[in-house]
C-alpha cells in the first residue's frame, strides 16, 4: 500500500488542543496518508470551545459532545479511548493521529501499537514525555508554523508614506513608490522570519548536551552502516522512525541532514545525490566536544 493510501483516524482532544493549529495538523497528516475519520471531542456547550466552531466546519471535523460529569474531571479522555478501541476493531485503519497534550493517552497509544498500527502524536511543548515517547512520531504544535514564511502586512506600505505627501502625485510615481515599499516590506519580513527560525533552533552545544538525542543518532548510524562504517541518510531516517518518536523539527531543523550537520559529531559526505554519514573517530569527537 502506498503512503498516500494509508487510512488514518484523527482524534482530537479539543479540551487540550488549540483550534488554530488544526489546518497545519491536517497538512502534516497528509504527508502520511488520508484522514478519512476526523473527530473532535469536548463539551461544546462550554464558552471556552467557541473558537472551534469555524474550524470544525472548515476542516470537515465531526464534533463529539462529552459533558463534564464531575467538576475537575475530564470525561473527554474516556470518550476518546472508547471510540479509539471501537475503531481499532471495526475499521480497517493503518494509523491513528491523536492530538492532545494529556499524558492519559499513553496506555491507548501502546495498545494501538501492539496491533501493528502507527500513532502520530501532536501536542504542545507542555506534553508529558511518556506520551511523547510512546508515539511512533510526535510533533510539537509550536513547531508546525515556524517553517511558514511570514507575510508582510498589507498596511505597512501605507504606514511608510510621509504625512505631507502631495495628493497630486501621479499614478506612475505612486506605482513606483508602492512597488519599492512592497519590496522593502518583503525584505523586512524575510529577515524577521530568519531571526525567528534561528531563535527556535537548538545550537550545537544544546544538541550535544541532549544525551538521549546523541545516543539515538549514534545508534541509528551504527545499525545501518556498511563494512566501511558509512550509512545512507535515508536508511538512518527509516531506522529513527522505527524506533522512536524522533522528528528533527522538534529541534528546529526542517530536515534530518540539517540536524546531523548541526550537532557536528558525524562525518558527512555526498556522492552524486546520496548523503552518507558515519561516526567520527574518537579523537575527532573529543576535539569537537572540547570546542
Tens digits of residue pLDDT in 19-71: 999 999 998 998 889 999 999 999 888 888 888 988 898 899 999 998 765 55
The band of 194, judged by pLDDT with boundaries at 50, 70 and 90, is very low
More confident residue, 247 or 36: 36
| Average pLDDT of the residues in 227-235 | 90
**140-144, 263-267, 287-291: the lowest-pLDDT one:** 287-291
- Rank 179-183, 244-248, 261-265 by mean pLDDT and report only the highest: 261-265
CATH topology of domain 3-144: Rossmann fold (3.40.50)
Domain ranges of the chain: 3-144, 204-290
Dist. CA 131–CA 140, nearest whole Å: 12
**106-110, 149-153, 210-214, 246-250: the lowest-pLDDT one:** 149-153
pLDDT of residue 202: 83
Cα separations in angstroms, 151 against 105, 160, 208: 37, 17, 34
Q: What is the pTM of this model?
A: 0.65
CATH superfamily of 204-290: LOTUS domain-like (3.30.420.610)
Report the 10 Å Cβ neighbour count for 38. Answer: 19
| Average pLDDT of the residues in 265-289 | 76
Tens digits of residue pLDDT in 129-139: 999 999 999 99
- The answer to whether the 3-144 and 204-290 domains have the same CATH topology is no
Amino acid at each position: 500500500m502506498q503512503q498516500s493510501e494509508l487510512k488514518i483516524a484523527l482524534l482530537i482532544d479539543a479540551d487540550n488542543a488549540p483550534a488554530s493549529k488544526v489546518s497545519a495538523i491536517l497538512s502534516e497528516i497528509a504527508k502520511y496518508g488520508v484522514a478519512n475519520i476526523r473527530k473532535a471531542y469536548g463539551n461544546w456547550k462550554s464558552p471556552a470551545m467557541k473558537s472551534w466552531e469555524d474550524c470544525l466546519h472548515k476542516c470537515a471535523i465531526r464534533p463529539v459532545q462529552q459533558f463534564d460529569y464531575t467538576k475537575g474531571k475530564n470525561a473527554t479522555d474516556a470518550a476518546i479511548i472508547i471510540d479509539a478501541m471501537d475503531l481499532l476493531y471495526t475499521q480497517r485503519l493503518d494509523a491513528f493521529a491523536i492530538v492532545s497534550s494529556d499524558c492519559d493517552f499513553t496506555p491507548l497509544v501502546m495498545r494501538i501499537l501492539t496491533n501493528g498500527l502507527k500513532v502520530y502524536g501532536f501536542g504542545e511543548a507542555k506534553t508529558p514525555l511518556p506520551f511523547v515517547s510512546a508515539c511512533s512520531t510526535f510533533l510539537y504544535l509550536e513547531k508546525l508554523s515556524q517553517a511558514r514564511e511570514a507575510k508582510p502586512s498589507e498596511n505597512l506600505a501605507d504606514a511608510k508614506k510621509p504625512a505631507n505627501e502631495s495628493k497630486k502625485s501621479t499614478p506612475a510615481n505612486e506605482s513606483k513608490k508602492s512597488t519599492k515599499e512592497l519590496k522593502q516590506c518583503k525584505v523586512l519580513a524575510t529577515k524577521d522570519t530568519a531571526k525567528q527560525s534561528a531563535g527556535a533552533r537548538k545550537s550545537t552545544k544544546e544538541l550535544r548536551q541532549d544525551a538521549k538525542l546523541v545516543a539515538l543518532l549514534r545508534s541509528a548510524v551504527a545499525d545501518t552502516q556498511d563494512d566501511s562504517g558509512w550509512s545512507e541518510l535515508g536508511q538512518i531516517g527509516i531506522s529513527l522512525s522505527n524506533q522512536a518518536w524522533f522528528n528533527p523539527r522538534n529541534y528546529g531543523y526542517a530536515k534530518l541532514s540539517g540536524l546531523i550537520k548541526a550537532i557536528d559529531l558525524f562525518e558527512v559526505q555526498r556522492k552524486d545525490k546520496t548523503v552518507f554519514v558515519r561516526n567520527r573517530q574518537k579523537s575527532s569527537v573529543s576535539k569537537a566536544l572540547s570546542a
